């Protein structure tokens, strides 16, 4: 897709109705197949599956091997780690789909599974390997299987700063 303000790998599959913002990159073997909207300056990693009716905000990074199911809304400045599965049907192969919402500034580690209809609030953090079975309130850190509240984001930020300062 030359002459555009975004880049799509020649090995990616992007549907004709997909809207992609300036500065966005869609990497090799990604599938973006519906009438999706991807914001500006995003990164869709290799082998990512983005189903129809997905909205992805600006400056969002989706790492390889992730599946974003139908009717998912992803906010701005979100990081989604490798191998995350965002589901949308409670009783597969059920036809009733549930909307999943991921707020602005959310950080999701690798290998997370979200159950359908989950809302992850703004600036929340979900730890790697978690199964998200309940809504995660804004600014909280959750992890585990099932994911449960661990501490407020301000505590998480403080711990990260201390870890960086003490690193060699």
Domain ranges in the chain are 7-166
Residues in CB range of 116: below 8 A, 6 or more apart: 69, 87, 88, 89, 90, 97, 98, 100
Helix (H, G, I), strand (E, B) or coil at 50: strand
Tell the CATH topology of 7-166. UDP N-Acetylglucosamine Acyltransferase; domain 1 (2.160.10)
Q: What is the reported pTM? A: 0.89
Task: Report the pLDDT value the prediction gives residue 1, as an integer from 0 to 100.
Answer: 44
Per-residue pLDDT of the chain (168 residues; tens, 9 = 90+): 445 799 999 999 999 999 999 999 999 999 998 899 999 999 999 999 999 999 999 999 999 999 999 899 999 999 999 999 999 876 666 666 778 999 999 999 999 999 989 999 999 999 999 999 999 999 999 999 999 999 887 777 778 778 888 887
User: What secondary structure letter does DSSP report for 41?
Assistant: T
Task: Report the pLDDT value the prediction gives residue 2, as an integer from 0 to 100.
Answer: 47
pLDDT, tens digit (0-9, with 9 covering 90-100), for 20-56:
999 999 999 999 988 999 999 999 999 999 999 999 9
Task: Report the pLDDT value the prediction gives residue 153, as an integer from 0 to 100.
Answer: 78
């Amino acid at each position: 897709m030359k002459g555009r303000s975004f880049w799509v790998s020649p090995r990616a599959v992007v549907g004709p109705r997909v809207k992609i913002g300036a500065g966005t990159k869609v990497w090799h073997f990604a599938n973006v197949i519906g009438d999706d909207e991807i914001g500006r300056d995003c990164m869709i990693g290799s082998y990512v599956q983005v189903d129809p009716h997905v909205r992805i905000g600006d400056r969002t990074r989706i790492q390889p091997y992730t599946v974003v199911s139908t009717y998912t809304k992803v906010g701005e400045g979100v990081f989604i780690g490798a191998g995350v599965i965002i589901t949308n049907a409670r009783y597969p192969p059920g036809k009733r789909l549930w909307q999943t919402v991921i707020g602005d500034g959310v950080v999701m580690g690798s290998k997370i599974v979200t159950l359908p209809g989950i809302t992850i609030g703004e600036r929340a953090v979900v730890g790697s390997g978690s199964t998200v079975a309940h809504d995660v309130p804004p600014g909280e850190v959750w992890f585990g299987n099932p994911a449960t509240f661990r501490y407020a984001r301000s505590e998480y930020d403080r711990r990260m700063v201390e870890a960086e300062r003490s690193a060699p």
